[in-house]
Structure 1
C-alpha cells in the first residue's frame, strides 16, 4: 500500500491515479456521518419518545409492529449498513495511521473488512427473518 499524500499537496504535484480511494473514503465519511446523525435521531425518536415511549419497546413492538412496515425495515437496514461501513472505514484510517509495516497493515485492514461484511450479512439476515416470519418460533405463535 502506498503512503497517503499530504492533504495540502498542490494539485500540480499530486500523483495522477485513475481511482483515488482515500478521497472517496474521505467523502464517504462526511456524507455517511451526516446521514447517520439523521438516521439515529429519527430511530431514537420513533422508538423512545413517540407513542408510549420506552415502555412500548418489546418483541411485539419491534418485530411485529415496526418491521411490518417496509419503511422502518429499510430505515434500520440502512442504519445498520452505513454505521458498520462508516465505523470500519474509520478503523481502517486508524490502522493506516499507526501500522507502518505493509504486511500487518494489509492483514488488519482485510480483517476489518471481513468482520464488517460478516456483521452486515448477519444483521441483514436478522432483519429479513423478522420481516418474513415475525411471530413464529418452532410452530408456535409468540406474538399473541
Structure 2
C-alpha cells in the first residue's frame, strides 16, 4: 500500500495535527427540544397525577367510591375532561419520546429501528385517539336506551 493510500485511509484522529470533526446532523435541535420536553412534561405530569390521585382517592370516600357513577360525574365537568385529556396526552407523548430514545440507542439495524418506531407510533396514535374519543364522547345516559341497562342515576 502506498504512502498516499495509507494517508487517505486514516481517520482524522490518526492524522498528526488533525482535529476530530463530528458530522453535523439535522436532528440536533430536535433532540435538544425532546430532552427539554421530557423534563418539563415530567414536572407537569407529576402535578397532574398527584392531583388526580388526591381527588380520586383522598378527597372523597377512597377507592370504594370510584365507580362508573364517579367517573360519569367527574367527566360531566369540562375542567376534569381537560385535566384527564392533558394527563393522557402528556403521558403518551412523554412515554413515546422515552421509548423512541431507547429504540435509537439499542436497535442496531435501520430496518429494526424502523419497524419498532412504526409499532410505537401506531400504538401512540391508537391510544391517544381512542382515549380522546372516550373522554369527550362519554355519555353515561345515552338517549333511547332500555331503562334496565342504564345506571341508577339516569332518568329513563
Band of TM-score, shorter chain: 0.7 to 0.9
Give me the TM-score of the superposition, normalised by structure 1: 0.81
Q: Which runs of 5+ in 1 are unaligned?
A: 1-11
Are 1:139 and 2:145 matched, yes or no? yes
Are 1:83 and 2:96 matched, yes or no? no
4+ long deviations beyond 3 Å: 16-19
The correspondence for 2:54, drawn from 29, 34, 45, is 45
Contact 1:135–1:143 (CA under 8 A) maintained in structure 2 = no
Q: Which runs of 5+ in 2 are unaligned?
A: 1-20
CA distance in 1, matches of 2:113, 2:83: 34
- The corresponding residue for 1:7 is none
Instruction: Mark the structure with the bigger radius of gyration.
Output: 2
1:115/1:18 CA distance change after superposition, 3 Å: closer
CA distance in 1, matches of 2:23, 2:53: 43
CA distance in 1, matches of 2:32, 2:51: 29
Give me the TM-score of the superposition, normalised by structure 2: 0.75
